Structure 1
Amino acid sequence: MKVTRSEPVLVHPAGDAAATVAEEYYFLSNLDQNVSVPMKTVHVFTSSSDNAASLMRESLSRVLPSYYPFQGALAVRPDGRLAVRNDRRGVPFVEAAADGELREVTDGDVSAPGAAEALANLVYTVRTGGEDATEEASSLLTVQVTTFKCGGLVLGLAMNHCLADGQSAAEFLRSWAEVARGVPLSTSPFLDRSLQSARPVPTISFPHDEFAEIDDVSGLAGVFGGDVPFVYRSFTFDASKLERLKKAASEDAAASTTTTTCSTFVALTAFVWVVRTRALRMRPEQRSKLLFAVDGRRRVEPPLPRGFWGNAVIFACCISDAGDLLGRPLSAAARSIQDAIARTDDAFIRSAIDYIERNRGARPSLTATTLVTAWNRLGLDTADFGWGQAVHSGPAELPQKEVVMILGGDRDSQSKVLVMGLPLSCVQVFEEM
């Protein structure tokens, strides 16, 4: 599929009031600073209007006053903190046309052969560094609208994660779509992130194993070495498979009874943690770590305001010796995950923010780690620009080697899709499981 792009146009907020922003720097919390990486997504619409690109560009201009940090750039403040410099450079907007079929990007399987390359052409990015680099390389949001001959349209976004987690990204999309339809914003963004500032005297009250370094006693560095073939696969769990999995994750194997209810997310995450640990052939004494995001919006006291815009997720963590993890029933792993979710309360979240304050630049260690990210619960596909909701919304690139993505299946089904990569030597074990 060939995609022909126009030259990017910089979109600025409409209206005189939006042109003047009082503060030089927009504050980023410690949770924002820990994820300053691009988040590339595609949103597929089977139909659109003849002037769709113009409508989306004009409505972007009208929604930007509410989301003005998008037109700034990342910078380091004099005190050494990462922030957004409000230099009003604008948001690059690109119109494009594809000569392929929309069905090539509608199934959402980013792991299919050639899919990642095709999706990359639908998201506008600028190379960083080198002679061809421009100021747009540090843009916090870029937009590409690609039309297809069949009348379909793909909206491709590259959004810096430091400005929005998945829920905030979905809120921005819905706000943009509401402006395009000419209706008031159903949720106005709350932009003050100082609510998530570290305390005046940072206090670490809990162990934060999410940042703990783990010794590689299983030779995993060699398994993931540069010369080892690495392949991606997707696995679909339909409703009946999910019910079987939830039952297994809820059972007390010794008593053959159900001990507790178990959500789909917990069951899938427990299963992935166990099976990936087995597939990587971790030694029994190897510490195996699981990381997953917990939304803290309603878990802090007081809860964050409605429409809070930023990163409000905390990494919950489970660690187990591989031998114990693989020797116990699936329900044991599920209980560990449920306990980690329950621990993520106001006190723990404040402690995590203070930990990052005390350990500036700290990142979760990923040795012997499985990181599960659930895209299916974000609501990215609910924006309606006037021609209906997206038939597919999801990532435009393959996950990193430690990451397992949970995606929604067909819109009208209850199925879930796992997308992940493994060294070729480990794939067969995972597929059999």
Structure 2
Amino acid sequence: MHSLTHFMETISQDTPLLLQDRKVTIHKTSMVFPSKQTEKKSLFLSNIDKVLNFDVKTVHFFEANQDFPPQIVTEKLKKALEDVLVDYEFLAGRIEMNYETNRLEIDCNAEGVGFVVASSEYKLNQLGNLAYPNQAFEQFVHKTNDFLKIGDIPLCVVQLTSFKCGGFSIGITTSHATFDGLSFKTFLDNLASLAANKPLSVIPCHDRQLLAARSPPCVNFPHPEMINLDDLPSGIEHGIFEASLDKHDFKVFQLTSKNINNLKEKAKVINNTAHVTGFNVITTHLWRCKALSRPYDPNRSSTILYAVDIRSKLNPPLLKSYTGNAVLTAYASTKCEELKEGEFSRLVEMVAEGSRRMSDEYARSIIDWGELYNGLPNGEVLVSSWWRLGFEDVLYPWGKPKYCCPVVYQRKNIILLFPPYRSCEDGDVELNIRVALPPKEMEKFQSLFYSFLI
């Protein structure tokens, strides 16, 4: 017991004292429009896009750069947004329902994206550990709902907040229907290139018909990872993306390279080593902790979901520059008894099998399923990895971000993987894991997290 306590102390991250008020003042809100006239048209949204019709909020922090004070950055950023909206014209549009097709689509009407200029009374180094989930980061992003006029919901709002030290943050709110993680990274690369008066780094591919359902739809596989909402009784909680109003504890768990390598060694007992990736062993570890943090029932079945990029899985493959959502949820499922007592290597194999299952035919089957049913991904927990998306590698004229993170949200069934906040104190940390759970479940999750690592 003593060794476990010592182990937890060496790699756990204590809850820091969080500044609740960032003392942010909004100076100006406006709309940004494409710098050239764009074609008025409707953009088809795939069945994957329409499921992800909710906002994603990220904050990108930058240290002071004497050549680029916040005022100059504000001007350059606004001009780059105007220019990028020529090539990403859908981002200046609005989501609407096409009642003839009964589908959501984007009306590319050039109504613009929101732009907010703000300042904080703090210095950047007074904000504390940027990797720790802090509800107060909400003050660095702006809501899209009723942005400047009631009923108007832009697909993107950008807020630049300057700090007393000359550093600043860029908070971006986008509808997930517009981008997945990979295409958002490409968008940021292009925004950064235009801000530096360079051409686009990647020519985006906007043809979302590439992920349209087949006609007629052909569902060739069972899809337990999806649930038809029309089959559920009213009042039943559903949807992995549903935000809870219950009070949750937030915690960041950290894994070092040594922790991850130890998990890989455990998994190699019966596995082909090609399947023993860092992502697979981490996902399996989190699956066990999440499922067993609830009251134990050996016969209860637990399903884990995790996003798989299908660009390379399709035949022919999608271009890497595809701008829509090209991710589907793979799954693994077993009883809690096996999660508690079974071989870790066997559980890792189940997770690996979920990714291998995602062939062209399987992906098309899920998309066709979405054409036939009103459904959402269905599981006990979704592991969403921002670990290697590379937002922190985007090179703007004023430098790379010091750190990028999402704004905390109350979703107890989604676990987020993030790169570490690089500082001298946590140089050996490889991964930050953000978890939000009710207090009793968090206590159990934390105990399992460390005991399963030994």
Aligned residue identity for 2:48:
L
* Pairs aligned (count): 409
Shift of 1:211: 1.1
Is the Cα–Cα contact under 8 Å of residues 31 and 312 in structure 1 kept in the other structure?
yes
Counterpart CA distance in 1 for 2:50 and 2:429 is 35
Aligned residue identity for 1:154:
S
Structure 2 unaligned blocks of 5 or more: 1-21, 230-235, 449-454
* Between 178-187 and 380-389, the greater mean CA deviation after superposition: 380-389
Aligned partner (choices 70, 74, 93) of residue 115 of structure 2: 93
Q: Secondary structure at the match of 2:225?
A: helix
TM-score (norm 1): 0.89
Is the Cα–Cα contact under 8 Å of residues 110 and 395 in structure 1 kept in the other structure?
no
RMSD: 2.5
Counterpart CA distance in 2 for 1:225 and 1:70 is 25
1:84 aligns with 2:103: no
Q: Secondary structure at the match of 1:241?
A: helix
Q: Secondary structure at the match of 1:7?
A: strand
Aligned partner (choices 315, 326, 329) of residue 312 of structure 1: 326
1:389 aligns with 2:403: no
Aligned positions of 1:169-208 closer than 5 A = 169-208=184-223
Shift of 1:422: 1.5
Counterpart CA distance in 1 for 2:122 and 2:280 is 39
Matched with 1:47 is 64
Q: Secondary structure at the match of 1:251?
A: coil
1:349 aligns with 2:357: no
Shift of 1:226: 8.1
Is the Cα–Cα contact under 8 Å of residues 204 and 321 in structure 2 kept in the other structure?
yes
Matched with 2:8 is none
Matched with 2:94 is 73
Aligned partner (choices 32, 52, 57) of residue 78 of structure 2: 57
After the TM superposition, which parts of structure 1 deviate over 6 Å for at least 4 consecutive aligned residues? 224-228
Aligned residue identity for 1:100:
Y
Q: Deviations over 1:349-390 (max 9, x none)?
A: 10010000011x311234xx0110001121112222212111
Counterpart CA distance in 2 for 1:156 and 1:299 is 33
Structure 1 residues 377 and 150: alpha-carbon distance in aligned structure 2, compared to 1, 3 A threshold: same
Aligned residue identity for 2:118:
A
Matched with 2:3 is none
Counterpart CA distance in 1 for 2:24 and 2:259 is 38
* Between 328-337 and 376-385, the greater mean CA deviation after superposition: 376-385
Aligned positions of 1:23-422 closer than 5 A = 23=41, 25-48=42-65, 49-50=68-69, 51-78=72-99, 79-105=101-127, 107-111=129-133, 115-117=134-136, 119-127=137-145, 134-136=150-152, 138-212=153-227, 229-252=247-270, 260-261=273-274, 262-359=276-373, 361-366=374-379, 369-398=380-409, 400-411=411-422, 415-422=430-437
Q: Secondary structure at the match of 2:85?
A: helix
Q: Deviations over 1:68-104 (max 9, x none)?
A: 1111111001211000112221111011111112135
Structure 1 residues 108 and 373: alpha-carbon distance in aligned structure 2, compared to 1, 3 A threshold: farther
Q: Secondary structure at the match of 1:209?
A: coil
Matched with 2:451 is none
Counterpart CA distance in 1 for 2:282 and 2:245 is 31
The alignment-based identity, stated in percent, is 27
TM-score (norm 2): 0.85
Counterpart CA distance in 2 for 1:123 and 1:225 is 18
